[in-house]
Structure 1
Amino acid sequence: MMSMPEGTLTRGHVSEARERLATSRFLFVDVELPEESAPGEQPIAHLLGLEAEDVAWLGREEESVRAEIFGDGGAFVVPAVDTDRVIRVHALVTERYLLTVHRGPAPLIGNVTARFPLESPSDSVAMLFLLLDEAMETYRRAAVQALLEVEDLEDEMFRRRQPEQLYRLARLRRTAALLHHTLLPYHRVAEETVTRRVMNRGFQEERQRLVREYRRTANVVLADIESLQESARRAFGSYSSLVSGDQNGVINRLAVVSTIFLPLTFLTGFFGMNFAYLTDELESRAVFWLLAVGLQVVFLLIALYVLHRTRLWRRLREDDGDLDDE
């Protein structure tokens, strides 16, 4: 619990939080529940004395997307990134307090409370937008970090391609999909709810400014995630191009080798035939060495000369060197 505006942070039992919620004028309360709900677990709304607020969803595990405003309050299920997983923080805001509930540790809350002395939120709604902004920041940091990893991987691929790079790219693409699929549904619901609220003439100018800043931050984060997805697709395309290039190099080498040995194969097959001219006329050892061996040597020298003049041999050696490096 944090009393505002003095920013006094205290820890206590849920019963103490219930008393403070009923009496305090400006309060931030964070409740950490076990990661898995226990059988017979009482609803957190009942423990905090909020049955009249119609918030039975508060702390429920299967609750994934929510952003609605009712009367002088609002209810949100805010996604945030914690390392390689997405956590969801349930937030209930009124004119007097901001209540957050989450299962398991949520570093997001620590980041928010650390910003309180610097931001000095004027009321509970400003505290809520501070929470929303920090949640967007976790997505932005995750997207930027993954984007830098993709760029580094792409540079490594062009220097030296390795099979494990494909696995790392697949993991980063999965990260991009996770960020996009968890943020976009929440963003759509929150955008619709906030837009509808801003259109009311009685909406305060200060809160309109908070909404504009939140929208700008959310759009930037979505752009970063889309950039990450595009970079991951481009990196996969680059990897496929490099593999195709290597395969083309192998095919070219096989074609060159086949071109060299095709005349030799023809001569070997020709002189291996048993027809009358070969068996009756070409019986001397000199004729055998001249035709059977000499022609093959001549064809081989001609092929090597052509390779040298067209620089195909040098290209072949360079490709062999690249394969050895891999």
Structure 2
Amino acid sequence: MKARLVQNGIFTIIDDITQTITQPVSGFYWIDARVEDLSILQPLFHLHDLAVEDCLMEEEQRPKIEIYDSHYFIVMNSIRFDDEEIFLRSLNIFLGKHYIITVTRQKINEIRTLKPILWEEEISAPDYFLYHLIDLVVDNYTIVADRIEAKIEKLEEDILVHTKKSHLHEIIGLRSEILWLKKVLVPQREVLAALNKKELRLISEPLKKYFGDIYENAIKIAETFDTFRDLMGNLREAYQSSVANRANEIMRIFTALTTIFMPLTFITGIYGMNFEYIPGLHWEYGGVAILIFMILVGLTMLLVFRKKDWL
């Protein structure tokens, strides 16, 4: 757990956590905590039992905002796209009048990248801290959406060039992840709508329009994922069509080869009969002549098929 006094974007480390109970002369306190630190923070800041219970739960939390007497409890889902897999990590936020507490189980990139923004913007209020943090969380969804789009385009190109069985597994897996993210975006969008439209005394009125801008971005992201869902359906159709075309191509080749060998089989069948008088049977070069004749018949049929574009 790290406690900092934030004044005009400048951080001052606080060693005594009890000092953060009292409102500072200027600025606010930011406490970056782990889940296990809540046993210390809850009695100090009178954090609501239900909010603390939500933080302690192992399973993934649904994005939401809860309004309590002295503080707000906000849950957002941070997104990561590592090694072609998508991960969601819960970001729990307690917003008070003179403090903000971020509680996480794993490291979240947005918290790390937030610090230079706070310094550049000279932030001195917890609600502005909240705005920049949520803005980064939503922006990361845009970055992930761009990477998913690039992956879809590459998958489409691979399917058109050379279809593999593994492509179907990729399509099914990617479609499942897109649908999963779509379900996450709906409640997250509701949280942003509440921050934009609700009467919240801990969030200054001028800041609400900025939350409205984030809300619009979240809507665009949700629409993008709707498009991705349709594209995955098109990819699956393209895969099935490519597989069918490939099967037809193989059958066409096999049919042509079978057709070529039919007259050759007919010739060998005739010379395999037990008749005493067969043309060329006792000729010294009869076997060679028949072989040459069979090769010429096969090549002639092959050229005819190529000319008619059957092969």
TM-score band (shorter)? 0.7 to 0.9
Aligned residues: 297
Q: Counterpart of 2:45?
A: 49
CA shift for structure 1 position 101: 0.9
Q: Distance in 2 between matches of 1:46 and 1:204?
A: 25
Q: Counterpart of 2:72?
A: 74
Asked whether the equivalents of residues 76 and 92 of structure 2 are also in contact (C-alpha less than 8 Å), the reply is yes
Look up the SS of the partner of 2:77 in the other structure. strand
For residues 158-206 of structure 1, give each alpha carbon's deviation from its aligned partner in whole angstroms, at most 9, with x where no partner exists: 4455666666555544543443343333334x156446616x9xx9651
Alignment of 1:17 with 2:5, yes or no, is no
Paired letter, 2:117: R
Q: Distance in 1 between matches of 2:45 and 2:205?
A: 33
Q: Which segments of 5 or more consecutive residues in structure 2 lack a partner in the other structure?
A: none
Q: Counterpart of 1:100?
A: 102
Single out whichever of 4-13 and 99-108 deviates more from structure 2.
4-13
CA shift for structure 1 position 97: 2.3
Asked whether the equivalents of residues 75 and 93 of structure 1 are also in contact (C-alpha less than 8 Å), the reply is yes
Q: Which segments of 5 or more consecutive residues in structure 1 lack a partner in the other structure?
A: 317-326
TM-score w.r.t. length of structure 1:
0.72
Structure 1 residue corresponding to 2:185, chosen from 183, 187, 191: 183
For residues 236-276 of structure 1, give each alpha carbon's deviation from its aligned partner in whole angstroms, at most 9, with x where no partner exists: 443443333322221111111122122333455566567xx
Asked whether the equivalents of residues 44 and 59 of structure 1 are also in contact (C-alpha less than 8 Å), the reply is no
CA shift for structure 1 position 221: 2.2
Q: Counterpart of 2:61?
A: 64
Q: Counterpart of 1:245?
A: 245
| Seq. identity, % | 18
Q: Counterpart of 2:30?
A: 29
CA shift for structure 1 position 220: 2.1
Look up the SS of the partner of 1:23 in the other structure. coil
Single out whichever of 247-256 and 109-118 deviates more from structure 2.
109-118
Q: Distance in 1 between matches of 2:227 and 2:149?
A: 8
Q: Counterpart of 2:129?
A: 127
Paired letter, 2:31: D
CA shift for structure 1 position 136: 0.8
Q: Distance in 2 between matches of 1:283 and 1:52?
A: 105
CA shift for structure 1 position 88: 0.8
Q: Distance in 2 between matches of 1:204 and 1:232?
A: 42
Asked whether the equivalents of residues 27 and 124 of structure 1 are also in contact (C-alpha less than 8 Å), the reply is yes
Over 6 Å off, 4+ runs? none
Q: Distance in 2 between matches of 1:72 and 1:32?
A: 19
Look up the SS of the partner of 2:45 in the other structure. coil
For residues 71-90 of structure 1, give each alpha carbon's deviation from its aligned partner in whole angstroms, at most 9, with x where no partner exists: 57422111101343211111
TM-score w.r.t. length of structure 2:
0.75
Asked whether the equivalents of residues 4 and 27 of structure 1 are also in contact (C-alpha less than 8 Å), the reply is yes
CA shift for structure 1 position 216: 0.9
Structure 1 residues 156 and 163: CA distance shift in structure 2, 3 A: same
For residues 217-238 of structure 1, give each alpha carbon's deviation from its aligned partner in whole angstroms, at most 9, with x where no partner exists: 2112223333444444444443
Single out whichever of 144-153 and 87-96 deviates more from structure 2.
144-153
For residues 73-131 of structure 1, give each alpha carbon's deviation from its aligned partner in whole angstroms, at most 9, with x where no partner exists: 42211110134321111111133222211113222112222211333446322322222
Q: Distance in 1 between matches of 2:161 and 2:280?
A: 59
